[in-house]
């Protein structure tokens, strides 16, 4: 009976295709998409020679942009990339760091992206590592991880909208990390802009010094040239030492079908070179660094990273389970103090995911592992349904997070899946017994 019911459910999905299964609210057939493609960005100066050892810690700034959704973070990032000649200003640059297909389709940032820029100021060349972060509450875990690799942040506020919910939430995330916060007023050229009102809100809500607040328009390019000098003069440089033993924080990762797992590291102390043997404190595993470099804005091998710099490494990880967000990497046979890492995300919404074809179970299992490598806030547990067979129960930070994850499975892995209606867990207490559901 169970096998027959499973076959009936899957047959209905294959017959109805994209149509909604009326009368069966527990089922949701997902749409088909082709694999996502990253838009190729034209480099501003492809002949530039990158010499990372020539940048001491005092010439490095690691900062992020935080704001409420649609306050102009990605547009500001585009202008900064153009200003530093990281990308060519001759092209039509719109949300260059929004590399996922789902981000371009929805017009929102769902994944924090890191980029290294080079900027000359008062006769000195600086290495600026920028992290563009999401603004929606469902992706707040991306923000908290990104801030751990920074020493400062730009708090962007829409001059027309003023302070909104995620402005406050992201401010306290940065404040809790002890970061230097520079308030920036964006969209001052809009007809409905009220800069004075927004400045008063920032001053009263956050008690920040607004006497020299930056007022810009990222879309029009007004006062963009004031941003980076303010970052260099006001934000502290990294405090690590090149002379100490190497240790680095793993704060992001993704899967590449050619080289396996790629890890984003914030180097706290010491020096890392291609060919070095490193040790993962979390998995107790040894690795050899086969490639090391920076995002500029795509992967550029440099063969070297030192204290204060942020970059990627390829070290032969083949399994998604080996990369643990918040892990500490250090050289073999050296003892270092482990970095504190991150608090795990608390899932708020749960849904079941099942393959339409039971023969795709193993493939889908691998795809989910690879995708959760790039989105560490998703919790995964296997479950079995009488109607749908073997699948997974996934936990998300919200319904938008769930829908984006589903779409990424389809876009990036050609998955054909069934997603059940989202549910919220609750706990009730009856007399002396505790019931979990």
Q: What is the pLDDT of residues 307-329, one digit of tens each?
A: 999 999 999 998 878 899 999 99
- Region 214-228: what's the mean pLDDT? 95
Residue 154 pLDDT greater than 90, yes or no: yes
Pair 240, 57: CB distance under 8 Å? yes
The Cα angle at residue 217 between residues 211 and 223, in degrees rounded to 5: 60
Q: Are 230 and 118 in a shared domain?
A: yes
Report pLDDT digits (tens) over 390-405.
999 999 999 999 999 9
Q: Establish whether 189 is an annotated binding residue.
A: yes
Q: Establish whether 200 is an annotated binding residue.
A: no
By mean pLDDT, which of 5-9, 215-219, 351-355, 398-402 is the weakest?
5-9
Residue 179 pLDDT greater than 70, yes or no: yes
Question: Which pLDDT does position 165 carry in this prediction?
Answer: 94
Q: Establish whether 401 is an annotated binding residue.
A: no
Question: Which pLDDT does position 104 carry in this prediction?
Answer: 87
Please report which confidence band the pLDDT of residue 437 belongs to, taking 50, 70 and 90 as the band edges: low
Tell me which residue range forms the domain holding 385: 2-30+344-428
Question: Which pLDDT does position 34 carry in this prediction?
Answer: 30
Q: State the CATH number of the domain containing residue 94.
A: 3.40.50.300
Pair 238, 327: CB distance under 8 Å? no
Report pLDDT digits (tens) over 22-79.
333 333 333 333 333 333 444 556 667 789 999 999 999 999 999 999 999 999 999 9
Q: Establish whether 70 is an annotated binding residue.
A: yes
9 domain-assigned: yes
Q: Establish whether 71 is an annotated binding residue.
A: yes
Question: Which pLDDT does position 30 carry in this prediction?
Answer: 35
Q: How much is the mean pLDDT over the chain?
A: 87
Last residue of a domain, one of 277, 303, 331: 331
By mean pLDDT, which of 5-9, 61-65, 130-134 is the weakest?
5-9
Q: For the chain, what is the domain count? A: 3
Q: Are 324 and 351 in a shared domain?
A: no
Q: Establish whether 202 is an annotated binding residue.
A: no
Q: Establish whether 132 is an annotated binding residue.
A: yes
Does the pTM surpass 0.75? The reply is yes
Among candidates 349, 424, 412, which has minimal Cα distance to 35?
Answer: 412
Q: Establish whether 306 is an annotated binding residue.
A: no
Question: Which pLDDT does position 433 carry in this prediction?
Answer: 58
- Region 304-308: what's the mean pLDDT? 95
Q: Are 98 and 227 in a shared domain?
A: yes
Please report which confidence band the pLDDT of residue 6 belongs to, taking 50, 70 and 90 as the band edges: low
Measured CA to CA, the distance from residue 177 to residue 175 in angstroms comes to 5
By mean pLDDT, which of 56-70, 185-199, 416-430 is the weakest?
416-430
| CB-neighbour burial class of residue 170 (10 A; exposed 0-12, middle 13-18, buried 19+) | buried
Q: Are 254 and 325 in a shared domain?
A: yes
Q: Establish whether 186 is an annotated binding residue.
A: yes
Q: Are 56 and 199 in a shared domain?
A: yes
Q: Establish whether 296 is an annotated binding residue.
A: no
Question: Which pLDDT does position 212 carry in this prediction?
Answer: 87
- Region 212-235: what's the mean pLDDT? 95
Q: Are 351 and 276 in a shared domain?
A: no
Q: Are 111 and 156 in a shared domain?
A: yes
The strands making up 389-396's β-sheet, listed across from edge to edge, are: 379-385, 389-396, 349-355, 417-419
Q: Establish whether 67 is an annotated binding residue.
A: yes
């Amino acid at each position: 009976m169970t096998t027959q019911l499973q076959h009936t459910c899957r047959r209905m999905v294959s017959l109805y295709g994209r149509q909604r299964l009326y009368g069966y609210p527990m089922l949701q057939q997902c749409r088909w998409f082709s694999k996502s493609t990253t838009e190729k960005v034209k480099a501003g100066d492809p002949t530039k020679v990158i010499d990372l050892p020539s940048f001491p810690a005092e010439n490095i700034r690691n900062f992020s942009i935080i704001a409420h959704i649609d306050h102009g973070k990605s547009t500001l990032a585009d202008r900064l990339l153009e200003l530093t000649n990281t990308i060519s200003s001759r092209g039509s640059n719109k949300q260059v760091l929004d590399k996922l297909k789902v981000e371009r389709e929805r017009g929102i940032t769902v994944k924090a992206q890191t980029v290294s820029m080079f900027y000359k100021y008062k006769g000195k060349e600086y290495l600026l590592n920028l992290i563009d972060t999401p603004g929606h509450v469902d992706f707040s875990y991306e923000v908290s991880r990104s801030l751990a690799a920074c020493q400062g942040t730009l708090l962007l506020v829409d001059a027309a909208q003023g302070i909104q919910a995620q402005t406050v939430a992201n401010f306290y995330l940065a404040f809790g990390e002890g970061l230097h916060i520079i308030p920036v007023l964006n969209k001052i050229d809009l007809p409905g802009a009220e800069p004075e009102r927004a400045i008063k809100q920032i001053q009263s809500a956050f008690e920040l010094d607004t006497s020299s607040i930056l007022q810009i328009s990222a879309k029009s390019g007004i006062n963009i040239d004031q941003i980076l000098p303010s970052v260099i003069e006001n934000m502290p440089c990294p405090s690590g030492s090149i002379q100490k033993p190497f240790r680095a924080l793993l704060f992001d990762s993704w899967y590449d079908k050619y080289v396996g797992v790629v890890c984003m590291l914030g180097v706290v102390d010491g020096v890392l070179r291609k060919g070095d043997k490193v040790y993962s404190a979390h998995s107790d595993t040894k690795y050899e660094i086969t490639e090391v470099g920076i995002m500029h804005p795509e992967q550029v091998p440099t063969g070297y990273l030192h204290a204060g710099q942020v970059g990627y490494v390829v070290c032969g990880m083949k399994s998604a389970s080996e990369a643990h967000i918040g892990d500490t990497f250090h050289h073999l046979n050296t003892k270092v103090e482990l970095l504190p890492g991150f608090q795990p995300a608390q899932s708020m919404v749960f849904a079941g995911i099942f393959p339409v074809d039971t023969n795709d179970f193993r493939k889908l299992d691998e795809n989910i592992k690879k995708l959760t490598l790039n989105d560490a806030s998703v919790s995964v547990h296997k479950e079995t349904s009488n109607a749908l067979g073997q699948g997974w129960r996934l936990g998300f930070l919200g319904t938008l997070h769930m829908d984006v994850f589903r779409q990424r499975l389809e876009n990036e892995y050609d998955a054909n899946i069934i997603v059940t209606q989202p549910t919220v867990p609750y706990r009730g207490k009856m007399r002396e017994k505790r019931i979990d559901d």
